Structure 1
Amino acid sequence: MATVELRFSALPEHVRTARLVAAAVARRAGVDEAVLDEVRLAVGEACSRAVGLHQTGGIAAPVQVLLIEEEKQFSIEVGDEAPHTVSGDRGSGAEPGDPDAEAEEDEMGLAVISGLVDDVEVSVGEQGGSIRMTWPTIPPTVVPA
Structure 2
Amino acid sequence: MTEGDGMATVELLFSALPEHVRTARLVAAAVARRAGVDEAVLDELRLAVGEACSRAVGLHISHEVPSPVRVVLIEDEKKFSIEVGDDAPHATHVDSSATPGAPTGFGPVVPAQDDGADGEDDMGLAVISGLVDDVEVTADEHGGLIRMSWPTTAAAVLP
What TM-score, normalized to structure 2? 0.81
Q: What's the CA shift string for 1:58-114, capped at 9, x where partnerless?
A: 011000000000110000000000010124573xxx6xxxx2xx1411000000000
In 2, Cα distance between equivalents of 1:140 and 1:5: 26
2:149 corresponds to: 134
Q: Displacement, 1:135?
A: 0.2
Q: Report the structure, 1 or 2, having the larger helix content.
A: 1
- Alignment size in residue pairs: 134
Q: How does 1:6-85 map to 2 (within 5 A)?
A: 6-85=12-91
Which consecutive segments of 4 or more residues in structure 1 shift more than 3 A?
87-90
1:61 partner SS: coil
Q: Find out whether 1:110 has 2:125 as its counterpart.
A: yes
Q: Which runs of 5+ in 2 are unaligned?
A: 1-6, 94-111
**8 A Cα contact 2:85 2:145, kept in partner:** yes
In 2, Cα distance between equivalents of 1:89 and 1:46: 18
Q: Counterpart amino acid of 1:73?
A: K
In 2, Cα distance between equivalents of 1:121 and 1:89: 19
**8 A Cα contact 1:30 1:140, kept in partner:** no
**8 A Cα contact 1:59 1:81, kept in partner:** yes
- Identity between Structure 1 and Structure 2 (%): 72
Q: Which runs of 5+ in 1 are unaligned?
A: none
In 1, Cα distance between equivalents of 2:139 and 2:113: 13
**8 A Cα contact 1:6 1:64, kept in partner:** yes
Q: Counterpart amino acid of 2:157?
A: T
In 2, Cα distance between equivalents of 1:81 and 1:103: 20
Q: Displacement, 1:22?
A: 0.1
RMSD of aligned alpha carbons: 1.4
Point out the structure with max Rg over C-alpha.
1
What TM-score, normalized to structure 1? 0.88
Q: What's the CA shift string for 1:11-51, capped at 9, x where partnerless?
A: 00000000000000000000000000011000000000000
Structure 1's 89 and 48: CA in aligned 2 closer, same or farther, altered over 3 A? closer
